[in-house]
Amino acid sequence: MQPTLFTHLTLATMVPSSTPYGLTPDAAIAVRDGRIAWCGIAQNMPDEYATWARADMGGRLVTPALLDCHTHVVHGGDRSLEFSQRLEGKSYEEIARSGGGILSTLTATRNESEATLLASALPRVDQLIAEGVAVIEVKSGYGLDRDTEIKMLRVARQIGGARPVQIRTSFLGAHAVPPEWKDRSDAYIDEVCIPTLRAAHAEGLVDAVDGFCEGIAFSPEQIRRVFDAAHALGLPVKLHAEQLSNLGGACLAAEFGALSADHLEYLDENGVRAMAAAGTVAVILPGAFYTLHETSAPPVELFRKHGVPMAIATDCNPGSSPTSSLLLTMNMACTLFRLTPEEALAGATRHAAQALGLADCGMVAKGMRADFAVWDIKHPRELAYRIGFNPLFKRIFGGSGWN
């Protein structure tokens, strides 16, 4: 692709600065080889870019492309029955303990082929892309046996070939105890989860290692063994922590220098301090809070107080968060958790990139990937303001997609 100068735009760089959103009016962005060569106020542009082919953005607002840093988009079946059951008064934990929940998705996922799993994931991916998302994290965790976990991760990688989007995979073998290992969760961790992690890593399928630390899933001691194995392979970790109760998962994650701890509805200040010291991002998932009628909100005020970066993600999954709208999720983060619209956008850009360990995404700045979103709005706070409305004009992915 020839070098391109994007002109006639207002830029929200999302680079931390004294200007909210890094807002730059009358801006231009010079893109070469899929990277940002220069951006700033058009008047200050160095002469060398003046002769480049131009793409006129019509005065629109440009932000970094969004990143969805926590999803389970690859899964079989659906859980609409469970949705009805919860409305009749059954809790998520009751449904899980009676063999529904994650285990029902497990059966469906085991039974589907790679092609079928890919075909059902793509519409979810397409909705995210249509909202300006350029990076999607995809977890395994609905197979819980060697073949199906690897199948899920292969499908996740295939998404990156089928669509113009960057995929980051997380191995989530410690998501639930599969029925054939009931009451033998320690053996499951040692004999299935960890060996499968090693096999998946050997195939190049794993970018990070995740777990679910919870009464209905795995203890901190069991997660520690998985994290030890991850570190031995040189893989970063993240953790579903403090979603339904406080087992000290975030402290454990911080001890391992985790990229992120996710959910965090039941986190206390001690855990927030540990995350701050470790540089662990708090990924908040309002879709799950909303769907499960949760009443305990993540400690947003404490994250601010201790300087823990907050990311926002859909948690797109068939049970606790059946959404593939990151814009709606940003709105929920503001209304349910009182994030500011600027925090919500940072949560779906800069901080989401940090939660994935990506240093070249999530901001519009020199040297970054040329992934940005062009919106039909006047001010970036509008992204979190509307409910179920998508103002995307164009998504630029690696410098392509504007014409």
Binding site for ligand DI6 (CB under 6 A): 72, 101-102, 105, 175, 212, 240, 243, 288, 315, 317-321
CA 319 to each of CA 85, 279, 348: distance values in angstroms, whole numbers, following the listed order: 12, 30, 22
* Region from 36-44, 151-159, 270-278, 309-317 binding Fe ion, contact rule CB under 5 A: 309-317
Minimum distance from residue 211 beta carbon to ligand DI6 (Å): 9
| Residues 106, 110, 115, 118, Cα dihedral to 10° | 20
- In the complex, the smallest distance separating the C-beta of residue 151 from ligand DI6, rounded to whole angstroms, is 17
**DSSP type of residue 49:** G
Q: How far is the CB of 351 from Fe ion (least distance, A)?
A: 17
Say which entry of Fe ion, ligand DI6, none residue 320 contacts (CB below 5 to 8 A, set by partner kind).
ligand DI6
- Residue 400: is it exposed, middle or buried by C-beta count within 10 angstroms (0-12/13-18/19+)? middle
Interaction between residue 68 and Fe ion (CB under 5 A): no
Q: With respect to ligand DI6, which residue has the nearer C-beta, 24 or 320? A: 320
Binding site partner of 325, from Fe ion, ligand DI6, none, Cβ cut-off 5-8 A by kind: none
Nearest approach, Cβ of residue 20 and ligand DI6 (Å): 31
Cβ of residue 232: shortest distance to Fe ion, in angstroms? 25
Is 315 a binding residue for Fe ion by CB under 5 A? The answer is yes
Smallest distance, Å, CB 285 to Fe ion? Answer: 7
Does residue 6 contact residue 62 with C-beta atoms inside 8 Å? yes
Nearest to 31 by CA among 56, 4, 57: 4
In terms of DSSP bridges, do strands 133-139 and 238-241 run parallel, antiparallel, or are they unpaired? unpaired
How far apart, in whole angstroms, are the C-alpha atoms of residue 66 and residue 397?
A: 11
Instruction: Find the shortest distance in angstroms from Cβ 317 to Fe ion.
Output: 6
Distance of alpha carbon 399 from the chain centroid: 22
Query: 252 or 373: whose CB is closer to Fe ion?
Result: 252
Cβ proximity of 147 and 195 under 8 Å: no
Task: Identify which of residues 260 and 354 has a Cβ nearer to Fe ion in the complex.
Answer: 260
Enter the DSSP assignment of 320: T
Q: How many CA atoms lie within 13 A of 152 on its CB side?
A: 33
Q: Looking at beta carbons only, is 24 or 321 nearer to ligand DI6?
A: 321
State which residue, 72 or 154, has the beta carbon closest to ligand DI6: 72
Taking CB within 5 to 8 Å according to partner kind, which of ligand DI6, Fe ion, none is near residue 138? none
Task: Decide whether 68 or 315 has the Cβ nearer to Fe ion.
Answer: 315
- Among ligand DI6, Fe ion, none, the one that 394 touches (CB under a kind-dependent 5 to 8 A) is none
Taking the CA atoms of the chain, what radius of gyration do you get in angstroms? 21
Q: How far is CA 228 from the centre of its chain?
A: 23
List the beta strands (DSSP E) in 72-157: 133-139
Q: Which residues bind Fe ion (CB under 5 A)?
A: 315
